[in-house]
């Protein structure tokens, strides 16, 4: 993306793109790691029992938001 376009891009939109890509990559890596370590994916549905999925989603959103805004800041600063 050209520097001029990055300067005109809203920070929140850039952060959203960085955050979504980061969350997807982290979830894929966690899923692959779970499959390699246990040999199956049965542990994933079990980890969402008793409302634990709420903590999982909130943690991914917080980490994705922090990462997204951090990367957006540095990208715009560099542009």
Domain boundaries, the chain: 3-78
The answer to whether 31 and 44 have CB atoms below 8 angstroms apart is yes
Confidence grade of residue 60 (pLDDT, cut at 50, 70, 90): very high
Would you say residue 75 has pLDDT above 80? yes
Model pLDDT for residues 13-35, shown as the tens digit of each residue: 999 999 999 999 999 998 888 88
Confidence grade of residue 68 (pLDDT, cut at 50, 70, 90): very high
Confidence grade of residue 5 (pLDDT, cut at 50, 70, 90): confident
Burial environment of residue 6 by CB neighbours within 10 A (0 to 12, 13 to 18, 19 or more):
middle
Give the pLDDT score at 39.
78
Distance CA 36, CA 65 (A): 28
Q: Taking the alpha carbons of 45, 48, 65, 71 in that order, is the dihedral positive or negative?
A: negative
Longest CA–CA separation in the chain, Å: 49
């Amino acid at each position: 993306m050209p520097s001029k376009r990055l300067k005109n891009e809203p920070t929140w939109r850039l952060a959203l793109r960085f955050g979504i890509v980061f969350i997807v990559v982290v979830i894929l890596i966690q899923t692959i790691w779970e499959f390699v370590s246990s040999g199956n994916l049965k542990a994933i549905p079990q980890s969402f029992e008793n409302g634990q999925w709420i903590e999982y989603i909130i943690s991914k959103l917080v980490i994705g938001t922090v990462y997204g805004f951090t990367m957006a800041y540095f990208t715009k600063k560099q542009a």
